[in-house]
Every structure is written in C-alpha cells, then in structure tokens.
C-alpha cells in the first residue's frame, strides 16, 4: 500500500509500498520514530484516509472502499477523546446507542465492559472527574464495546506517567488476551513494543524494514536501523571468510574468526557490518579467551548490572554489560587493557 500527501515538490510519500499481514488475535505493534508513517497506516486501516494505491483486506474481503463506521474496526486515540460532560457509563454506551442497540442490550454491554476494565465503582462519575489512567480505561472500554474485529491503538499510553504506563501495558495485554480481538498498537517506544507484542513491524521513512517476534527483532535485527533502534548495540566491521545458508564465518578486526547469523535471503561477501548486544559479551577472564581487546575507558554501575565501555584499537567503543553479583567488588581499573569474549552465536550480520 502507498500513501502520498500533496503534489509536485511538496509531495510526501508517507507510506512507500508497504505490505503486511496481521494474524487474527494478534497483538501487533507498529514501531518507529516520529514521522515514519505509523499513524498514516493506522488511519488507512480505520478508513479516516484513503490509500493512493493498494488495498486493505479483512478476512480476505476488500474493505478499502468502506467508510469508517462500516468497518469492524475501532480506534483508541492518544488523547482518549471522551465526552467530559457524560458519565463513564454514558461514554461507554454512546457508540452502541448510535448503532441502534436496544436499551437493555446497551446497559448489559456497558456493565460487561466496566467489569472488563475494572471500573464498576466509577460507573456514574463524569469523565472530567476521574484520573488520566481511569480515562484511559474508559476509552478502551468504549472502543471495545461494539466488539470490533480489530482495535487500533495510537500511542494510547503516552500521556500517562511511567508507573501507570507500566500498569496499563500489563492491562492492555490482559484485555487483548481476554477479548481475543486483534490489537494493532502504535508506539515509538522500543521497550513497550518488546514487552507487549506478539509481533512487531519496525518502520522507517514510510517503509517496513522488518517484521518478527520481539525475540527475532532483538536477536536478529536485519539491518543497521533496526539494530540501532532496538536495544543497545555494538557494531563491527568484519570480513566474510565463508558463507552458507543463514550463517557466515567472519574474521573480526582482531583476526579472530567467529560464526555469525545472516538475515534471510542475504548472501554476505567481502566486508560486512555485524552487531553484538552488550549482554552477549563479557570481559575476558570472566568467561574464556579474548576475541577482541582494547582499553577499559569507563565503568558505569546500574544496580542490577554494570556497563564497561572498551576503546578498541580501531577507535570504536564497545560496550560489555555484566550482571552484578551481590557483594562483588569492582576489580577492573579504568584505563587498563582488557579482553572481550563474545558468547556462542551472538554475532549477527546486517544487511547494510
């Protein structure tokens, strides 16, 4: 699907030939930086906007031509968009009344939704008189009430403080599990995407770069953008010694050879960029022989773990993350030479 805004020199390609298949009952996340096209994709699915080219299929049926209210899709917006003068129950039931549901039907669905989001006690409170977290629950209940097949959530937690945000992440997971509705969730927060999603699509500049489970995306990022956007990364240039299906033998700058994973369909040759996560590396001496060596530049204590920043001979900085054992005093001196060991199968070749 493609979506362009404007004409001539002002033309913006918000989505550039994006194609994605989302499963039933899936918690699917669109993750990417501001301006990458996440909201545009959500608006096209909702029907608030129309694609320049391409179609949207729901269970094999083309819904691209349907107006928003005829699609079995509902949206939870970032700002909740509740009616402040109405009660909690009134807000949840409003859409159902508009659909022409009978009064007893509306009342019983509203009660069911109040139970689902654990807001029974505040049923008759006006939404201007409840907290931000409670408003969020009402917005969710209202969107779930007509039992859509797909619920679209556009950065729904961004207005909440960190503690409430964490609580609502768990709550959203529970709601998705209990209702079995497909959730398409938009965020630019990589941690949120990793903890909540069944699968993630990483977007940049109007394109989807990689789709996979949180573990696949984290352990096997396909290119530099995905590797850098998700988690901490160490990038290294390395020479390909040999390559077979899905794997390659690389010579690291130190001359040491390691086996590395390769993105699907890529045939690496010559010089490539490879990535290693800091927690998959250890200072040598703790865990076997050194594969890289350098000078320990800084040691940063984080409570649960410690980050060691090592300056390599080529000038690059390599981060090693080690879990802290209780009572273990730091023996490494900043400025001293250190070796780095990489765990088995921790190196991943990138496409670019």
User: Which tokens go with 241?
Assistant: 């010694």
- Whichever of 188 and 321 has its CB closer to ligand ATP, that residue is 188
Least distance between ligand ATP and beta carbon 91 (Å): 25
Least distance between ligand ATP and beta carbon 15 (Å): 8
What residues contact residue 106 under an 8 Å CB cut-off, 6+ apart? 93, 96, 97
- Whichever of 38 and 280 has its CB closer to ligand ATP, that residue is 38
Least distance between ligand ATP and beta carbon 74 (Å): 18
User: Which tokens go with 250?
Assistant: 């690389």
Q: Tokens 């209940």 map to which residue?
A: 141
- Work out whether 159 is an interface residue with ligand ATP (CB under 6 A): no
Least distance between ligand ATP and beta carbon 5 (Å): 3
- Work out whether 14 is an interface residue with ligand ATP (CB under 6 A): yes
- Work out whether 32 is an interface residue with ligand ATP (CB under 6 A): yes
What residues contact residue 192 under an 8 Å CB cut-off, 6+ apart? 29, 157, 165, 169
310 touches 318 (CB < 8 A): yes
Least distance between ligand ATP and beta carbon 33 (Å): 7
- Work out whether 277 is an interface residue with ligand ATP (CB under 6 A): no
- Work out whether 253 is an interface residue with ligand ATP (CB under 6 A): no
- Work out whether 132 is an interface residue with ligand ATP (CB under 6 A): no
Among 34, 124, 323, 336, binds ligand ATP (CB under 6 A): 34
- Whichever of 56 and 240 has its CB closer to ligand ATP, that residue is 56
User: Which tokens go with 143?
Assistant: 């969107």
Q: Which of residues 175-194 bind ligand ATP (CB under 6 A)?
A: 188
DSSP conformational letter for 175: H
Least distance between ligand ATP and beta carbon 70 (Å): 23
Least distance between ligand ATP and beta carbon 237 (Å): 31
Q: Strands 257-261, 305-311: parallel, antiparallel or unpaired by DSSP?
A: unpaired
Total residues binding ligand ATP (CB under 6 A): 13
Strand, helix or coil for residue 154: strand
- Work out whether 156 is an interface residue with ligand ATP (CB under 6 A): no
- Work out whether 38 is an interface residue with ligand ATP (CB under 6 A): yes
Q: What's the CA gap between 264 and 318, in Å, rounded?
A: 26
- Whichever of 6 and 335 has its CB closer to ligand ATP, that residue is 6
What residues contact residue 21 under an 8 Å CB cut-off, 6+ apart? none
Residue 176 has φ and ψ, to the nearest 5°, of -65, -40
189 touches 17 (CB < 8 A): no
Among 1, 22, 27, 39, binds ligand ATP (CB under 6 A): 39
User: Which tokens go with 89?
Assistant: 């129950």
- Work out whether 69 is an interface residue with ligand ATP (CB under 6 A): no
Tell me the three-class secondary structure of 8-30, residue by residue: HHHCEEEECCCCCCCCCCCEEEE
Least distance between ligand ATP and beta carbon 6 (Å): 6
User: What's the distance, Cα to Cα, between the start and end of the chain in Å?
Assistant: 25
- Binding residues for ligand ATP, per CB under 6 A? 5-6, 12, 14, 32, 34-40, 188
């Amino acid at each position: 699907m493609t979506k362009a805004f404007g004409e001539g020199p002002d033309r913006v390609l918000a989505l550039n030939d994006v194609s994605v298949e989302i499963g039933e009952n899936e918690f699917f996340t669109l993750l990417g930086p501001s301006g990458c096209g996440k909201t545009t994709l959500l608006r096209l699915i909702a029907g608030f906007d129309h694609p320049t080219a391409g179609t949207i299929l729901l269970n094999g049926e083309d819904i691209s031509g349907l107006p928003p209210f005829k699609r079995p899709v509902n949206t939870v917006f970032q700002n909740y968009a509740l009616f402040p003068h109405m009660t909690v129950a009134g807000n949840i039931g409003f859409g159902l009344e508009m659909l022409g549901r009978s009064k007893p039907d509306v009342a019983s669905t509203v009660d069911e939704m109040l139970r689902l989001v654990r807001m029974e006690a505040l049923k008759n409170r006006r939404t201007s008189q409840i907290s931000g977290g409670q408003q969020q629950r009402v917005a969710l209940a209202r969107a779930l009430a007509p039992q859509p097949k797909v619920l679209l959530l556009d950065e729904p937690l961004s207005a909440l403080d960190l503690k409430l945000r964490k609580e609502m992440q768990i709550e959203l997971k529970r709601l998705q599990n209990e209702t079995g509705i497909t959730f398409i969730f938009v965020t630019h927060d990589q941690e949120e995407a990793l903890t909540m999603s069944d699968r993630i699509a990483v977007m940049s500049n109007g394109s989807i770069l990689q789709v996979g489970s949180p573990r696949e995306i984290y352990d096997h990022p396909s290119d530099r953008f995905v590797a850098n956007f998700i988690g901490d990364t160490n990038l290294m240039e390395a020479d390909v010694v040999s390559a077979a299906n899905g794997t390659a033998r690389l010579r690291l700058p130190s001359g040491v050879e390691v086996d590395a994973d390769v993105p699907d369909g890529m045939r690496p040759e010559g010089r490539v960029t490879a990535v290693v996560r800091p927690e998959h590396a250890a200072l040598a001496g703790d865990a076997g022989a050194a594969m890289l060596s350098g000078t320990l530049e800084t040691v940063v204590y984080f409570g649960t773990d410690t980050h060691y920043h090592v300056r390599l001979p080529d000038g690059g900085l390599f981060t090693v993350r080690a879990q802290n054992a209780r009572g273990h005093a730091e023996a490494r001196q900043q400025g001293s030479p250190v070796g780095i060991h990489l765990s088995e199968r921790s190196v991943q070749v990138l496409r670019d």
